[in-house]
Amino acid sequence: MTLVDTRSPVWLGTADCRLEEFRACVEQTTDPALCPTADAVERDIPLYDARRLEVLATTAQGRRDLQAEVNLVLSTGPGVAVFKRAFADLSVIDRATDVFTALIEEERATGAARGDHYAKPGANDRVWNAVEKLARRAPEVFADYYANDIVALVCSAWLGPGYQVTSQVNVVNPGAAAQRVHRDYHFGFLSDERAAAFPRHTHVMAPALTLQGAVAHCDMPVESGPTLYLPHSHKYEAGYLAWRRPEFGTYFEEHHVQLPLDKGDLVFFNPALFHAAGHNRTTTVRRMGNLLQVSSPFGRAMESVDRESMVNAIFPVLRRRKTEGAGEQWLRNVVDSCAEGYSFPTDLDLDAPVGGLAPPAPAETVWRAVQDDWSPRQLADELRAGAQRRGGGGR
């Protein structure tokens, strides 16, 4: 007797979570032809030499071709890629690590509960909204860190221009247990009941609104528990309803892959990929990663970030670095990492789209200030006026 497939073309439910279909999706081999620029494919994950990519990306066509390859790796490919030596100057990583460590110690001293998404609260050390805290605490460090062109190349390859960076530092302490398998923001933060209330097409569309990444702030041998991945699992349509089901969790435990990372390496992956932080089996390694949650300008960022104050903190650095010879791409990367890149929502009575379909986004104002060498006061006044026009009071 043949079973009739009664699944809805519009809605997904837990009855649609079928392990045999999931296995058919993930039990495939990554085709090296999909990632010809990769130096190797290990355990179905492409590994790129970031230094070579930077050379290839020096021309507009070379950069576009690389971004097309990265996009396909994250969409039709395995859904994850490693960029070796993404931060060639490890002093940049060390300076940021010092800031993050100080923040952890200060926040721990307050006794506040930090919480966690997929691990037992208190097992790890967290810095929420690390992107804003780094910008305000150490603007020089922020500029050197987020000027990284591999970050910009991959983010724009997946999300296009105007992307918004948030980050959360996670330190997995010696002995800390692994996270449970999950998918990530947006749908990964919803209950099964809430996720099932969204139509099928939004389950497919949502991963295009976010990109997940991590910067290794220390060497991460496998025994320290670097992230566990299940390549190709992002392609499973019912995955946002499946990851909590025990049979899927068991399959993940039996088939996940794990790669060691060196300090300064960078990983990006599709947020729909089944993944989890690993078990830190060492007695000495405090495994620090800066987790990047990068959002499309068309979606909602994970954290509420005071980007106006960030820009005001960073702008004097931008002015000085420009006079010292920093290139346009370097300056743009920093602006894109801290300024609001989207024009909406706004009050169109006050902020009319004169000369175009939309009023200028704050990031456009910041870039004009960089080009025209505005004073910090002039930019601060314009950003404040713009926030008031958009109906935001700021913090």
Quick one: pLDDT at residue 302? 83
Which residues are registered as beta bridge partners of 275? 182, 229
pLDDT at 1 over 90: no
Please give the Cα distance from 228 to 225 (Å, whole number): 8
Q: Which value, to the nearest 10 degrees, does the dihedral of the CA atoms of residues 371, 372, 374, 378 take?
A: -110
SS3 (DSSP) at 216: strand
Quick one: pLDDT at residue 358? 87
- Which of 45, 49, 39, 32 lies closest to 83, judged by CA? 49
Q: What is the pLDDT of residues 4-23, one digit of tens each?
A: 566 899 999 999 999 999 99
Quick one: pLDDT at residue 148? 98
Quick one: pLDDT at residue 386? 95
Q: What is the pLDDT of residues 144-160, one digit of tens each?
A: 999 999 999 999 999 99
Q: What is the pLDDT of residues 360-395, one digit of tens each?
A: 999 999 999 999 999 999 999 999 999 999 885 444
Q: What is the pLDDT of residues 276-331, one digit of tens each?
A: 999 999 999 999 999 999 999 988 788 989 999 999 999 999 999 999 999 999 99
Q: How many CA atoms are closer than 13 Å to the CA of 131, on its beta-carbon side? A: 28
Quick one: pLDDT at residue 2? 47
The order of strands in the sheet holding 210-216 is: 40-42, 45-49, 80-84, 266-269, 210-216, 287-295, 164-172, 124-127
Residue pair 26/230 in contact by the 8 Å Cβ criterion: yes
Residue 106: pLDDT band (50, 70, 90) is very high
Residue 122: pLDDT band (50, 70, 90) is low
Helix (H) or strand (E) holding 47: strand 45-49
The mean pLDDT of the chain is: 93
Quick one: pLDDT at residue 393? 47
Question: Which domains are delineated in the chain?
Answer: 14-295 (2.60.120.620), 307-389 (no CATH)
pLDDT at 119 over 80: no
Ranges assigned E (strand) in 224-333: 228-229, 257-258, 266-269, 275-276, 287-295
Q: What length is written for the chain?
A: 395
Task: Find the mean pLDDT for residues 151-176.
Answer: 96
pLDDT at 30 over 70: yes
Quick one: pLDDT at residue 395? 41
pLDDT at 115 over 90: no
Quick one: pLDDT at residue 354? 77
Residue 114: pLDDT band (50, 70, 90) is low
**Share of residues in the chain with pLDDT > 70 (%):** 94
Please give the Cα distance from 196 to 31 (Å, whole number): 33
